[in-house]
Copies of this chain bind each other. A is one copy, B any other.
Amino acid sequence: MIVVKIGGSAGVDLDAVCDDAARLVREGRRLVIVHGGSDATNTLGERLGCPPRFITSPSGHTSRRTDRETLGIFQMACRGVMNQKIVERLQARAVNAVGLSGMDGRLWEGTRKAAVRSVEGGRVVIVRDDYTGTVERVNVGLLRTLIDAGFIPVVSPPAISTDHEPINVDADRAAAQTAAALGAEELLLLSNVPGLLQRFPDESSLVPHVSRAAIDDAVEWAQGRMKKKVLGAGEALCGGVGRVVIGDARARDPISLALAGAGTVFQ
């Protein structure tokens, strides 16, 4: 089993990802696809007069400010835009894809953060109407049912809170939890960079390998969104996944190349 997380940023070649996925499925590999909708949420939010806002935590982590209106836009972007694009492309390549959110079958469960600490103008303020959280439990029953019946699941946020509300969760880390829960051999985190870069955005500074012992350090120095990917890589390895690769989805055969070790290998 391979869990493939596909980023949605500019440059990611969804057709190349889906071509490669279809070839691997024909060869008998079992895949689960995970994706987010961050960039699509930004674009749609701008069009709807609700531009993206972000929260910086006291420890320096950045996350999307997700009030109920933004949550609705996030759901449209994830479920109505990105998921449909991927399912359409896979079906056109004879892959019997099924799109799911983390709410379906309570696939991704987590606690909604009751209070989010946000640094604003040098002061820490408490935000109480945010719909965010982290996946704490993966109910793999639905995934196993579909996989055993020959379907290819394509999963995106939101997750579902213990109070049954949709919550915005990081898709990289959700993919990591999913890979661990499924006992996947590999987790591939594919986006628009060649892998973890020592000096972002200098692509010649690619780090080819990160050992388990070095992951905590890498979480510290990784920049922006890469921080969550490295965190996810560590969580997946801790959960029993054999290998994690952060790889490039901007050109042909991105899944096969990552499986061959192109990018940053965590092992």
Contact = CB atoms under 8 A, between A and B. Distances in A.
A169 B48 CA distance: 26
A77 B80 CA distance: 7
Contact of A105 (B77, B98, B145, B160): B98
Interface string A36-50: 000000001001100
B77 A151 contact: no
Given A98-B100, A104-B99, A80 B88 contact: no
Interface residues of A, number: 38
Number of copies: 2
A267 interface: no
Given A141-B149, A142-B151, 12 more contacts: A72-B80, A76-B77, A76-B81, A78-B80, A84-B101, A91-B103, A91-B164, A96-B106, A98-B105, A99-B100, A142-B149, A145-B145
Contacts of A88: 103, 160, 164-166
Interface string A155-171: 00010100011100000
Contacts of A77: 76, 80
Contacts of A48: 47-48
Contacts of A47: 48
Dominant SS at the A interface? helix
A149 B160 CA distance: 20
Nearest to A165: B88
Interface of A: 44, 47-48, 72, 75-81, 83-84, 87-88, 91-92, 96-101, 103-106, 141-142, 145-146, 149, 151, 158, 160, 164-166
A69 to B, nearest CB: 12
A21 to B, nearest CB: 15
A166 B100 contact: no
A96 B107 CA distance: 10
A81 B106 CA distance: 18
Given A98-B104, A151-B142, A84 B75 contact: yes
Contacts of A106: 91, 96
B103 A87 contact: yes
A132 B211 CA distance: 52
A84 B79 contact: yes
B141 A91 contact: no
